[in-house]
């Protein structure tokens, strides 16, 4: 067993970082041309799965010609930009005043290269704050299309900063420049960084025996029929629908799931990447793989580019062992709140909204508030009928992201329900929790059964139904939950 999971034995932060490469682009040899991407959201299951054709392959929007804005003197220690910016340079975002105690922030990166050296783009940036005192972790996904001011340079997309730093200041300096860029634009001081490639990710999933993950929102996208086929050949692709449910993913499917963006946004892709991170941590912890960090450190250093040393990693390991799932939270960033769209930058991009970003970054550094459910601290149990096996885990994982303490019951004794049903044993004594359950499980008040019971060991009993709504497609009419490739 220990040999099987050898490559997965790492501290919590390093287990997380090995997954962020899931959104990295394929190797250069496979980059002849992408499959269709960024198409409108689908509303119905297609009757057939046509292969992509060259006419379906999207082209980049034409470059917008514009007159650069004049440079301006930047407050603080930064110099005047050396290149005229395409958008006004913002003032530095002040660091959050409240940061909690004993917080370590790790920048997890995934690039579009598979070898050591300069990364051409850093398309995955996830920040993880580990609060060792509170025993909590927060994740925030930084969209690759965010335009930021690079100190002493200009306004560019954040996924190009690391490559610019390596080119301008020397190999290995890109991560330092990206840290400074995040400090300036988001107010977050990065303690460590770690970067890996997608080959290491797939190898890790293989060592784990595949990835067990809850798919909360159905997904449709083109997928290679086999990982070794030619990326630019339309005949290599097939359209795949991944329905809501609990799935066992092989390494390439896990990579595909994390990278897909044809029928979703970069924000939704970031949420999937965070789901994958948490799934990997759970499997690693369940297999007892956190205790071998010292022995495996030389092996980790071969596949992970990082400025962490062994003692830094060992300082984070206890959190990975002891943390409860409901204490791993994600901070969602959204257009109109933390960003606004900008179409005249020469390419599609996002710009920071300072007020919304400051609030999000404060929440990122603080442990989850015990009052995020109005202090009700509800106890939840959730199950699903045998015909819908896996929906209990899907619902439980969805609720734990929001701070619910959830016990997954499985299928024994559960009713095969058409609609998700919530039994409230509190007599409506915890209304905030009930409203949150209705919203998160996408059900309605009509599916709530009031059954006050002072002797109940839980506050709410939930039985998932087959109409659990998904983002794209409902569950298939039969009782199976298909996995692509099977």
Q: What gap in Å lies between CA 247 and CA 7, rounded to an integer?
A: 22
Token duo for residue 111: 């690039």
pLDDT at 283 over 90: no
Nearest alpha carbon to residue 85 among 156, 190, 161, 9: 156
pLDDT score for 80: 60
What contacts 459, CB < 8 A, 6 or more positions away? 378, 379, 380, 424, 425, 426, 430, 433
Token duo for residue 80: 């005047």
Residue range 85-110, pLDDT digits in tens? 888 899 999 998 866 668 999 999 87
**Cβ–Cβ under 8 Å, residues 239 and 222:** yes
Question: Residue for token digits 């199950």?
Answer: 383
Q: What gap in Å lies between CA 58 and CA 263, rounded to an integer?
A: 14
User: What is the residue-averaged pLDDT of the chain?
Assistant: 77
Which of 219 and 59 is assigned the larger pLDDT? Answer: 219
| Residue 315 backbone phi and psi in degrees, to 5 | -70, -20
pLDDT score for 63: 39
Residue range 200-210, pLDDT digits in tens? 778 778 878 89
pLDDT score for 71: 38
pLDDT score for 392: 93
pLDDT score for 470: 63
Query: Burial, 300: exposed, middle or buried (Cβ in 10 Å; 0-12, 13-18, 19+)?
Result: buried
**Cβ–Cβ under 8 Å, residues 220 and 482:** no
Token duo for residue 28: 């250069």
Do you know the residue count of the chain?
486
Q: What gap in Å lies between CA 180 and CA 341, rounded to an integer?
A: 24
pLDDT score for 405: 87
Token duo for residue 373: 């459910």
Average pLDDT over residues 415-441: 93
**Cβ–Cβ under 8 Å, residues 345 and 157:** no
- Three-class SS state of 51: coil
pLDDT score for 18: 39
Token duo for residue 482: 């298909």
pLDDT at 38 over 80: no
pLDDT score for 5: 34
pLDDT band at 55 (very low <50, low <70, confident <90, very high): very low
| 91-to-185, 187, 340 alpha-carbon distances in Å | 8, 11, 16
CA atoms within 13 A on the CB side of 301: 11
Kindly report which listed range (59-73, 163-177, 272-286, 292-306) carries the lowest average pLDDT score.
59-73
pLDDT score for 92: 94
What contacts 85, CB < 8 A, 6 or more positions away? 68, 69, 71, 149, 154, 155
pLDDT band at 25 (very low <50, low <70, confident <90, very high): very low
Which of 262 and 58 is assigned the larger pLDDT? Answer: 262
pLDDT at 76 over 50: no
**Which domains, ranges and CATH numbers included, belong to the chain?**
1-23+79-213+263-368 (3.40.630.190), 379-464 (3.30.70.2390)
pLDDT at 338 over 90: yes
Query: Burial, 217: exposed, middle or buried (Cβ in 10 Å; 0-12, 13-18, 19+)?
Result: buried
Average pLDDT over residues 462-471: 84
Residue range 352-388, pLDDT digits in tens? 999 999 999 999 998 876 556 667 889 999 999 877 7
pLDDT at 477 over 60: no
How much of the chain exceeds pLDDT 70, in percent? 75
Which of 77 and 277 is assigned the larger pLDDT? Answer: 277
pLDDT score for 225: 92
Q: What gap in Å lies between CA 324 and CA 345, rounded to an integer?
A: 43
pTM for this model (two decimals): 0.76
Nearest alpha carbon to residue 122 among 171, 175, 170: 175
């Amino acid at each position: 067993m220990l040999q099987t999971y050898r490559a997965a034995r790492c501290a919590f932060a390093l287990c997380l970082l090995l997954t962020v490469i899931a959104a990295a682009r394929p190797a250069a040899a496979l980059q002849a041309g992408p499959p269709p991407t960024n198409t409108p959201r689908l509303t119905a299951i297609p009757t057939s799965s046509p292969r992509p054709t060259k006419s379906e392959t999207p082209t980049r929007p034409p470059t917008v010609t514009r007159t650069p804005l004049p440079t301006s003197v930047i407050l603080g220690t930064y110099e005047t930009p050396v290149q005229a910016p395409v958008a006004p340079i913002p003032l530095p975002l002040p660091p959050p005043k409240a940061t909690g105690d004993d917080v370590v922030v790790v920048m997890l990166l995934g690039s579009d290269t598979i070898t050591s050296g300069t990364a051409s783009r850093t398309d995955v940036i996830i920040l993880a704050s580990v609060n060792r005192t509170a025993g909590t972790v927060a994740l925030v996904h930084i969209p690759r299309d965010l335009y930021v001011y690079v100190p002493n340079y200009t306004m560019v997309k954040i996924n190009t900063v690391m490559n610019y730093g390596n080119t301008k200041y020397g190999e290995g300096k890109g991560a330092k420049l990206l840290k400074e860029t995040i400090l300036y634009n988001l107010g977050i001081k990065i303690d460590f960084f770690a970067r890996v490639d997608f080959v290491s990710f797939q190898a890790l999933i293989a060592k784990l025996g595949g990835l067990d993950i809850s798919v909360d929102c159905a997904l449709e996208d083109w997928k290679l029929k086999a990982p070794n086929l030619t990326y630019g050949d339309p005949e290599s692709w097939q359209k795949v629908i991944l329905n809501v449910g609990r799935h066992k993913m092989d390494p390439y499917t896990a990579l595909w799931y994390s990278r897909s963006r044809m029928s979703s946004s970069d924000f939704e892709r970031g949420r999937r990447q965070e789901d994958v991170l948490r799934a990997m941590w759970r499997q690693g912890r369940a297999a007892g793989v956190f205790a071998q960090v010292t022995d495996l450190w030389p092996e980790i250093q071969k596949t992970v580019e990082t400025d962490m040393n062994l003692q830094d990693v060992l300082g984070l390991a206890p959190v990975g062992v002891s943390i409860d799932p409901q204490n791993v939270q994600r901070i969602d960033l959204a257009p109109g709140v933390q960003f606004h769209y900008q179409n005249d930058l020469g390419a599609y991009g996002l710009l920071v909204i300072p007020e919304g970003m400051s609030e999000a970054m404060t929440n990122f550094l603080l442990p989850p508030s015990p009052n995020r459910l109005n202090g009700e601290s509800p106890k939840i149990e959730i199950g699903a009928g045998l015909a819908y096996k896996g929906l209990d885990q899907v619902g439980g994982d969805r609720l734990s992201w929001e701070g619910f303490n959830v016990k997954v019951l499985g299928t024994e004794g559960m009713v095969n329900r058409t609609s998700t049903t919530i039994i409230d044993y509190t007599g409506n004594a915890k209304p905030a929790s009930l409203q949150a359950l209705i919203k998160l499980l996408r059900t309605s008040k009509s599916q709530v059964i009031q059954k006050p019971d002072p002797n109940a060991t839980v506050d709410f009993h939930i039985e998932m139904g087959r109409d659990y709504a998904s983002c794209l497609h409902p569950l298939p009419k039969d009782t199976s939950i298909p996995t692509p490739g099977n």
